[in-house]
Chains A and B, each alone.
Chain A
């Protein structure tokens, strides 16, 4: 029996494809080691219980010495740890959920879940405004020492993790596949940075589980379950993010919905939820206030200086452009029209303002004033 780690045994059990109820029952009554011992002796996983043929097959294949050794080696190399629902380190927020995962595999530091947490979810194909807002909110939450939880997908998820990292607090990702899978491949560097910054990556899937479509809506119950509240940034009506909201409501969590653009189909879900009574918010401060985290609120009032100060050093053309952009974002053509500057001069002016960080280029050759927000 020497050479078999607890993680490898749990990985073996998780690979059998049992129902969550069966697994929870099994692991609540017994230590994984004793389950393994009994299986070695009798070939039976749960006494007096007939398992599906597929599960039996998977168990026998997984118990093979070579397979177990290879998995154990991989688990150690990737630094994967595991907790079961009967362990004391099992996340307290998940413990009482009716569909709580029996086993959680993780990389990184599980202590971060002791912080206050906010789960942020939203569309993978979000608009740049939604992404900007997500980064801003996650960053400000993070500054206040709140851990952001999300799903490491493209779009809103990635923006939430990035924002949180920028704010200095660790961030948590819940995956819909085995921890050895690099999915989405694009976000592999982000995942690495998260771990390096003391964050956490969690999954209920054993090694080798592929990121299949049906994993994700199911995974979302963990995303919502780990947060003290849920934030929805952008979602269509039929989308994974909306299933997360459903999970959160079932779990009795507060759901905060960012308003988003009123007429965009990307934000249809937001507006439906807001009509149904979700909590309206636009800034991290709103959220903290509503959650009663008043001690975390930063002192306000030292943010609004840059605009007035730099205004003094602007040239006439630069002031013309800034005056237009202070009213809202504009395209190059519109700027050309409203300022009456020749295209060459306008280009030069825009470069100057960009270099000084006063304005920012948006997709579609549009510009916005940076001092407008925050």
Chain B
């Protein structure tokens, strides 16, 4: 019996990076059987059965021969069902069941997709990551599951062939019927269609919190909202993505890639245009926050990359989960290490936290009597003290709006109006920090503050007076200056004056420790 050999090309995933995988199929005489080698995990090893059935159901044969399938490089772990399609095509080629047309090189066509027993092709996670990696390797032709096509449609210079079944792939490879390539999608047209999910005009009253949100968005400052249950903290946080500048193309690629790997992308949807909003519950574990699992998959901080991470009931989060936020807050990336895997995910997000003023939530409320003892309140507040609080520039108290005021209040500004001012302030910052590692005011370190945040003499003496009279800490001192810088940018002022400093002082609610006496 003759020995026969075929090769196809696909990609495996390690973190957000794809790596090329050669699928080598060797067919020889001997005891009939099929073996997959090259560090496959269980889902790859099972592809044997799916491929077998899919081939038979596509009108082809599986001759009784001894078959070895090697996934090279053999030292990288392969996971997931996306290897089904390249294995099936390799098998068919090695058994002389298909004959690729002359102008198609199987070694240069990227194949991936999960097969069902009847030969249909199912979508897989991480399609965007694979296509980006393929494009980086100089490859242009990709055959992928039809439902993943939209994700890949925005990558320039690629020929994307969306396939619904193995039969279609076979006919395409043999040249009998070419799959119509996916139309290129322009990111700008996608962007034009975006509708913010929660509009700021739906938030009634809350003048101070709205303003604080605008300042936070303009400077990329993390923010803490303190208020009784039902005062509208979640609503405010949800409208933040709508007032931030829209995702740029490269930001969208980064974020969509992470969503694609995590399998969080709605099937059939394209690149994300809206900034992500992640609101993990306060029972979240460390692994779900920063990423983990045996395959080191991304966590909430990475899913919120270029978007908003909202932690409601901040003191209820486990200390470990909050501690784990420090690296991503500091560096904008998070490294997930597991025994077999290490992956690095981008995770630069705006942190918006919400908390009650006391355990029962009604301290200082006019609606209801608070029934907490001073010790309980102290203990509750101490849950969030320390390094995390250090990274939060804006702290603001959110007042409950009584029902009658909600009905009577005049129409509020919409997200679009606020977004315009925010975009302008962001542009000023981009201009200012062109040659520096900073992107926005929130990232300034102490040296940066000295260089870029010039205070007028009046403003400086006012700030010193405030530190003395209102017991502001030195830590608060620098935060106030940074926030004042953003307020000045919103006003398109070069210098920081007294009005900016005075407003910024109001965003240090926790420092005015009135509830501790």
Q: A residues bordering B, Cβ < 8 Å? A: 124-125, 128, 154-155, 184, 186, 264-266, 331-333, 336, 342-352, 354-355, 357, 361-366
Stretch in contact with the other chain, from B155-163, B184-192, B497-505: B497-505
Assuming the contacts A351-B466, A355-B462, asked whether A361 and B512 have C-beta atoms less than 8 A apart, the reply is yes
Q: A333-B206, A351-B506, A365-B397 are in contact. Are A186 and B375 (CB under 8 A)?
A: yes
Given the known inter-chain contacts A125-B373, A186-B374, A354-B470, please indicate yes or no for A365 contacting B502, CB distance below 8 A. Answer: no
Taken together as a complex, chains A and B put the C-alpha atoms of A345 and B370 apart, in Å, by: 31
> Which chain A residues lie closer than 8 Å to B378 at the CB level?
186
For B, the interface residue count at a CB cutoff of 8 angstroms equals 42
State the B residues within 8 Å of A (CB).
205-208, 210-211, 357, 363-366, 369-375, 378, 397, 399, 401, 405, 462, 465-466, 469-470, 487, 498-503, 505-507, 509, 512, 514-515
- Closest residue of chain A to B210 (Cβ to Cβ) is A343
Residues in B with CB closer than 8 Å to A362 are 364, 514
Docked-complex contact A333 and B399, CB < 8 angstroms: yes
Q: A265-B369, A350-B506, A363-B515 are in contact. Are A332 and B399 (CB under 8 A)?
A: yes
The 5 lowest CB-CB distance pairs between A and B, nearest first, are A363-B364, A364-B364, A348-B502, A351-B502, A343-B211
Contact status A348-B503, CB under 8 Å: yes
Q: B503 contacts A365, CB within 8 Å? A: no
Determine the chain B residues whose CB is within 8 A of the CB of A332 once the complex forms. Answer: 207-208, 399
Decide: A355 near B469, CB < 8 A? Known: A154-B373, A347-B208: yes
Contact B364 A357 (CB under 8 A): no
Q: Which residues of A contact B500 (CB under 8 A)?
A: 348
**B residues within 8 A CB of A265?**
369
CA distance A365 to B369 in the complex (A): 16
A184 vs B375: C-alpha distance when bound (angstroms): 10
Chain B residue contacts of A363, Cβ below 8 A? 357, 363-364, 514-515
Given A361-B512, A362-B364, A364-B397; A352-B502 close (CB under 8 Å): yes
CA distance A364 to B515 in the complex (A): 10
Q: Shortest CB–CB separation between residue A294 and chain B, in angstroms?
A: 34
Residue of chain B at shortest CB distance from A131: B517
Q: How far is the CA of A349 from the CA of B499 in the complex (A)?
A: 8
Partner of A344, one of B206, B405, B487, B512: B487
The residue of chain A having its C-beta at the shortest distance from the C-beta of B499 within the complex is A348
Q: How far apart sit A8 and B205, CA to CA, in the bound complex (Å)?
A: 66
Chain B residues, CB < 8 A from A357: 469
Among B207, B365, B498, B507, point to the contact of A333 (Cβ < 8 A).
Answer: B207
Chain B residues closer than 8 Å to A331, beta-carbon distance: 366, 399
The listed residue (B205, B373, B512) touching A124 by CB distance below 8 A is: B373
C-alpha gap A248/B468 in the complex (Å): 44
Contacting residues, chain B, for A346 (C-beta < 8 A): 207-208
Residues on A with beta carbons closer than 8 Å to the beta carbon of B509: 365
Question: Cα distance A347–B512 when bound, in Å?
Answer: 15
CA of A350 to CA of B373 in the docked complex: distance in angstroms?
Answer: 29
A124 partner residues in chain B, CB cutoff 8 A: 373
A357–B466 CA distance with the chains assembled, in angstroms: 11
